[in-house]
Amino acid sequence: MDVAESALPAQPAAQEVILRRQSLRESAARTYARSLPIVPVRARGLTIEGADGRRYLDCLSGAGTLALGHNHPVVLEAIRKVLDSGAPLHVLDLATPVKDAFTTELFATLPRQFAENARIQFCGPAGTDAVEAAIKLVRTATGRAGLLAFTGAYHGMTAGALDASGGATEGRVTRLPFPQNYRCPFGTGGERGAELAARWTETLLDDPKGGIPAPAGLIIEPVQGEGGVIPAPDAWMRRMREITATRSIPLIADEVQTGVGRTGAFWAVEHSGIVPDVMVMSKAIGGSLPLAVIVYHSDLDTWQPGAHAGTFRGNQLAMAAGAATLAYVREHRLAERAATLGARMLGRLQGLAATHTCIGDVRGRGLMIGVELVDPDTDDPCATAPPPAPALAAAVQRECLRRGLIVEIGGRHAGVVRLLPPLTLTDEQAAAVLDRFADALAAADGSPHRRNATGPSN
Ligand code: PMP
């Protein structure tokens, strides 16, 4: 049934009660629940319906999980088929027809050169579990303990993944500069900034007194998501591949958020054409249910039986939902669609920047889009960009919600408004999302920050 046909009576009072109970019972670490005080009861495609009867356009998509939006018919059908077949739902890591079909479909989507010699390890059930497995895999295979990771990275919340993430302060991780145009650590941006970032990495690795633990691998997000939607330049990705390959350092591509068409290619490594040694995958591969795997070169498969285990490695419903999602994205060329529509949306957002000085930067790849909000009135001559404006970003998120639009906040300073719509987004829906966003921005942004309208009046 379509959300529009909802027969559920609106229950604003029930919504308030549930939200109050949640704030009393759930942990202080809860996140989205604070900034998005809604109680979803029904959802389809881009739309979520709250217990209060209001409808929202969901551009959070389960933090980038829902490639096909909520409750896509092919996903529901795949889940029902397993349920109706009497197949076991829990099988540890035993072989099943459902798992066999999922693996076949997943391998069919991978770059051919990578898939040819690949092995898969089912981890479970979250992205962070697969990151842990990847780190353990390369440590076992190389006998080295160190890890190379980037400023602004996000790889998950378990100990190893957290160590590799940008906020960590200790561990065996060496932090390398991730190139960024807008807040370039070298003050140059562009190709020059990326070149300097690569050169820093190269000299550090070759410096006998560099003081870094011998690296078992280098972990990289082809587009930093939580770090503020920062696409890695393709040429820099190729440099990272070359630098690691010549030093026998396995390269781990964390495609947890960028995978399954999100960035305009089925896998984001395809933009640069690099062949990683390990790929980490989760989120969209489970078609909205928990599933996480690593796929890696068979040369790295040196661990012993049981070296990596986990009770929930065999989620049959997730594999069925995931296989259906992967096939749908492939057959309907949704990666290409994400590239075209994403470019158009970026263009319109850049038009908005012409009339709002609080928009410092608009960036992204495919349907992974970020709008960095800044305080244009604070002038720091030493800084390459105005200071970030996290309070304004939060205000824009609130104003979006008031207008029935769910957006995400990210970035190093929580100053980036993020859009992660489903890849099934129609042109009309994209226009509605951008209209609401523009309206919310105008409401949150005081008139002192508005530029004279010299650009397109999007
Ligand atoms: N890697 C990346 C790139 C991510 O974006 C995330 C989640 N946002 C993770 C790993 C961790 O995934 P999970 O939250 O499922 O553990």
Q: What is the pLDDT of residues 153-182, one digit of tens each?
A: 999 999 889 989 987 656 789 999 999 999
- Contact of 351 with 455, CB cutoff 8 Å: yes
- Contact of 374 with 396, CB cutoff 8 Å: no
The ligand 1 atom nearest the CA atom of 63: 8
Q: How far apart are the first and last CA of the chain?
A: 34
C-alpha–C-alpha distance, residues 117 and 348, integer Å: 42
The verdict on whether omega for the bond into residue 97 sits within 30 degrees of 0, i.e. cis, is no
C-alpha–C-alpha distance, residues 85 and 81, integer Å: 6
Token pair belonging to 35: 């900034």
* Nearest residue (CA) to ligand 1, atom 13: 127
Q: What is the model's pLDDT at position 266?
A: 98
State which amino acid sits at residue 421: P
Residue 192, C-beta contacts closer than 8 angstroms, at least 6 positions apart: 186
**Ligand 1 lined by 282 (C-beta under 6 Å):** yes
Alpha-carbon 10 to chain mean position: 33
Q: Which residues pair with 48 in a beta bridge?
A: 43, 56
Q: Which of 65, 128, 157 to mutate to test the pocket of ligand 1 (most atoms within 8 A of CB)?
A: 128
Phi first, then psi: give them for residue 406, nearest 5 degrees. Answer: -100, 120
C-alpha–C-alpha distance, residues 273 and 385, integer Å: 31
The ligand 1 atom nearest the CA atom of 126: 15
Report field, pTM of the whole predicted structure over 0.75: yes
The ligand 1 atom nearest the CA atom of 225: 5
* Nearest residue (CA) to ligand 1, atom 7: 156
Query: In angstroms, what is the span from residue 7 Cα to ligand 1's centroid?
Result: 35
C-alpha–C-alpha distance, residues 111 and 211, integer Å: 36
Q: What is the DSSP letter of 285?
A: G
**Ligand 1 lined by 337 (C-beta under 6 Å):** no
**Ligand 1 lined by 128 (C-beta under 6 Å):** yes
C-alpha–C-alpha distance, residues 336 and 349, integer Å: 20
Query: In angstroms, what is the span from residue 64 Cα to ligand 1's centroid?
Result: 10
C-alpha–C-alpha distance, residues 366 and 263, integer Å: 4
Query: In angstroms, what is the span from residue 149 Cα to ligand 1's centroid?
Result: 15
**Ligand 1 lined by 257 (C-beta under 6 Å):** yes
Give the residues of the chain that fall short of pLDDT 70.
Answer: 1-9, 168-170, 447-458
Q: Which residue is it, tokens 């720091």?
A: 380
The ligand 1 atom nearest the CA atom of 129: 16
**Ligand 1 lined by 63 (C-beta under 6 Å):** yes
For 77: left if phi > 0, alpha if psi spans -120 to 50, otherwise beta; the answer is alpha
Count Cβ atoms below 10 Å from residue 20 Cβ, excluding itself. Answer: 10
Domains of the chain, first to last: 12-71+335-456 (3.90.1150.10), 75-331 (3.40.640.10)
Q: What is the model's pLDDT at position 286?
A: 98
C-alpha–C-alpha distance, residues 280 and 253, integer Å: 6
**Ligand 1 lined by 221 (C-beta under 6 Å):** yes
**Ligand 1 lined by 131 (C-beta under 6 Å):** yes
Query: What is the b/e burial string over 91-110, where b = at least 16 CB atoms within 10 angstroms of the residue's CB?
Result: eeeeebebbebbbebbeebb
The ligand 1 atom nearest the CA atom of 226: 5
C-alpha–C-alpha distance, residues 317 and 89, integer Å: 7
The ligand 1 atom nearest the CA atom of 224: 3
- Contact of 269 with 222, CB cutoff 8 Å: yes
The ligand 1 atom nearest the CA atom of 161: 10
Q: What is the model's pLDDT at position 451?
A: 59
Query: In angstroms, what is the span from residue 135 Cα to ligand 1's centroid?
Result: 14
Token pair belonging to 409: 């906040």
C-alpha–C-alpha distance, residues 176 and 291, integer Å: 29
Q: What is the model's pLDDT at position 168?
A: 65
Reported as type and span, the H/E element at residue 129 is helix 127-142
| DSSP secondary structure, 38-89, as one string | --EEEEEBTEEEETTS-EEEESSHHHHT-TT-BT-HHHHHHHHHHHHHT--S
Query: In angstroms, what is the span from residue 369 Cα to ligand 1's centroid?
Result: 17
**Ligand 1 lined by 255 (C-beta under 6 Å):** no
Token pair belonging to 72: 């896509």
Count Cβ atoms below 10 Å from residue 51 Cβ, excluding itself. Answer: 22
Q: Which residue is it, tokens 């995400």?
A: 408
Q: What is the CA radius of gyration of the chain?
A: 22
**Ligand 1 lined by 226 (C-beta under 6 Å):** yes
Half-sphere exposure in the Cβ direction for 143 (13 Å, CA)? 0
Query: In angstroms, what is the span from residue 129 Cα to ligand 1's centroid?
Result: 9
Q: What is the pLDDT of residues 317-347, one digit of tens each?
A: 999 999 999 999 999 999 999 999 999 999 9
Q: What is the DSSP letter of 386?
A: P
Q: What is the model's pLDDT at position 450?
A: 58
* Nearest residue (CA) to ligand 1, atom 10: 155
CA distances from 61 to 361, 364, 407 (A): 23, 16, 9
**Ligand 1 lined by 219 (C-beta under 6 Å):** no
Q: What is the DSSP letter of 107?
A: H
Q: Which of 257, 281, 408 to mutate to test the pocket of ligand 1 (most atoms within 8 A of CB)?
A: 257
- Please choose, from the candidates 192, 169, 161, 168, the residue with its C-alpha nearest in 3D space to the C-alpha of residue 179: 192
Q: Strand 368-373 vs strand 416-419: parallel, antiparallel, or unpaired? A: antiparallel
**Ligand 1 lined by 408 (C-beta under 6 Å):** no
C-alpha–C-alpha distance, residues 27 and 15, integer Å: 19
Q: Strand 278-281 vs strand 251-254: parallel, antiparallel, or unpaired? A: parallel
